[in-house]
Amino acid sequence: MSTLEFTQAEEAFRLEAREWLAANNPGRLPSMDTAEGAAAHREWERTLASGRWSVVTWPEAYGGRDASLTEWVIFEEEYYLADAPTRISQNGISLLAPIIFGHGTESQKERYLRDMTDGSLVWAQAWSEPEAGSDLASLRATATQVEGGWRLNGQKTWSSRAPFADRGFGLFRSDPSAERHRGLTYFLFDLRAEGVSVRPIDQLDGTPGFAEIFFDDVFVADEDVLGAVGDGWKVAMSTAGNERGLSLRSPGRFCAAAVRLVGLYRERGLADPGLRGAGDEVVDAWIGAEAYRLYTWATVTHVEAGGSVGAEGSINKLWWSDLDLSLHETALSLLGGEAELAGPWLDDYLFSLSGPIYAGTNQIQRNIVAERVLGLPRGGR
């Protein structure tokens, strides 16, 4: 008997998701960071959308189900338990869409929301620059006002999915006299527009998971400014807490990985006395995932009661990224001499290595926890 009690409607939702996934899930597809894999993942998004499973929490008018946060977490649990494909549309639906819903014009909602639900419009996030990583506010790419719109110049980098995406969203300095967080504007742009060049960059696994983007006098119309001019930082950060705290990495993913890890241990560890020590690590991974699952239900309860996730989102990010890495390190221990060979565990391990870096490095997250959650004095930076 579980201490978590779901309503009948929630249980029915879970069952419906499970059955639909069982009937439609293609399993692992070729990496979405290859041309072939990107096409297959877009196709999968189309299938998801056709079943109205791609954006469950969105209003029905935009292809969603008006599902609650609870139902979203349930969906994610089922999704990852089924080992369904990675989501190529993630940047759009979980990073950009909440901002369009909150700050976008009706025209932007009409033009962009629907198309990102079925894989026909894949977005890349273009925030980081070569000299502006952890210190994002030092960004230098510029936007200059011209007749009817803006001209973008400069360089963005580490933009995930950009090699195969359609459009990008990012922050540009629209007021050259303003410093740091001020004078930034949030723009939506076409990755194939004149003046944009995308240079794919191979990640550790050898696939181009991200890219540099160069802007040479790229024209963007006024209608593609998201939020008010000069308000870019505020707009961008308006959902950051929720992203780190909830929507970026739901517990389903780690619970499912922990289940698979137990399976690997059953297969490899039980028979091999030399791997007995790894049993403790398997258990720790399971405990970590279980803690994350329960922590998330507490967060959901808090948010559904009208609360919000602020700096606490950093606590969450530290937990899942460290958990993901140690879980996959344990899997490689269980694979023993074969750990170095290509395979799904190795792929997922290599990806887990980046968790402590992207979405704000774990050093930055610890600074946030120490200063904004614990209230310690701010260090020099």
Partner 1 sequence: MRFGRTPEQHAFSEALDDLLGAADVPSAARAWAGDDRSAGLKIWQRLAELSVTGLLVPESDGGVGADPVDLTVAFERLGYHGVPGPWIESVAVAPRLLGGTPEAGVLSRVASGEALVSVASGGRALDADVVEQTYALESRVGLDTPPPPPLVEPGERQRAGVETNTVASATLSRATVGSEQKSVDPSRRLFDVTAGDEVVTLDPRPALELGTLACAAMLHGAGLRLLDDSVAYVKQRTQFGRPIGEFQAVKHLLADVRVALDFAAPLIHNAALELDAEVPTAARAVSAAKVAAGDAAYLASRTALQVHGAIGYTREFDLSLWILRVRALVGAWGTPAEHRARILESLVVEPVETPSRGEI
Ligand X SMILES: Cc1cc2nc3c(=O)[nH]c(=O)nc-3n(C[C@H](O)[C@H](O)[C@H](O)COP(=O)(O)OP(=O)(O)OC[C@H]3O[C@@H](n4cnc5c(N)ncnc54)[C@H](O)[C@@H]3O)c2cc1C
**HSE of 47, CA atoms in CB hemisphere, 13 A:** 16
- With contact defined as beta carbons under 8 Å apart, do 127 and 91 qualify? no
CB 69 to ligand X: min, Å = 24
243 given a catalytic annotation: yes
H or E element, residue 196: strand 196-201
Q: Could you give the C-alpha distances from 226 to 98, 185, 187, 217, in angstroms and in order?
A: 12, 8, 6, 19
Nearer to partner 1 by Cβ, of 60 and 381: the residue is: 381
Q: Contact between 169 and ligand X (CB under 6 A)?
A: no
Contact 121/48 with Cβ under 8 angstroms?
Answer: no
275 binds, among partner 1, ligand X, none (CB under 5 to 8 A by kind): partner 1
For residues 282 and 364, which CB has a smaller minimum distance to ligand X in the complex? 364
Strands (E), 56-195: 123-126, 142-146, 149-160, 167-173, 184-190
Minimum distance from residue 129 beta carbon to ligand X (Å): 8
Tell me, rounded to whole angstroms, the distance of Cα 153 from its chain centroid: 26
Binding site for partner 1 (CB under 8 A): 128, 131, 133-135, 138, 157-158, 201-204, 206, 210, 272-275, 277-278, 332-333, 335-342, 346, 350, 353-354, 356-358, 361-363, 366-367, 380-381
Q: Which of residues 311-370 bind ligand X (CB under 6 A)?
A: 354, 357-358, 360-361, 363-364, 367
Q: Output the six-digit token pair for 283.
A: 């258990």
Nearer to partner 1 among residue 262 and residue 350 (C-beta): 350
What CA dihedral angle connects 184, 187, 190 and 193, to 10 degrees? -50
Do you know the residue count of the chain? 381
149 binds ligand X (CB under 6 A): no
x/- map, 215-244, ligand X, by CB under 6 A: ------------------------------
Q: Quick check: 214 binds ligand X (CB under 6 A)?
A: no
Q: Are 333 and 281 in contact (CB under 8 A)?
A: yes
Two tokens, residue 242: 């929720």
Q: How far is the CB of 181 from partner 1 (least distance, A)?
A: 13
Q: Which does 159 bind (CB under 5 to 8 A by kind): ligand X, partner 1, none?
A: ligand X
Question: Considering the complex, what minimum distance in angstroms separates the CB of residue 352 from partner 1?
Answer: 11
* C-beta pairs of 55-63 under 8 Å, 24+ apart in sequence: 55/93, 55/97, 55/117, 58/97, 58/113, 58/117, 62/109, 62/113, 62/114, 62/117, 63/113, 63/114, 63/117, 63/118
- Minimum CB distance to ligand X smaller for 131 or for 272: 131
Options 53, 164, 169, 210; binder of ligand X; rule CB under 6 A? 210
Stretch that binds ligand X, among 34-42, 127-135, 187-195, 219-227 (CB under 6 A): 127-135
Among partner 1, ligand X, none, the one that 306 touches (CB under a kind-dependent 5 to 8 A) is: none
| Nearer residue to ligand X within complex by CB, 79 or 210 | 210
Which positions are annotated as active-site residues? 243
Binding footprint of ligand X on the chain (CB under 6 A): 125-128, 133-134, 158-160, 210, 354, 357-358, 360-361, 363-364, 367, 381
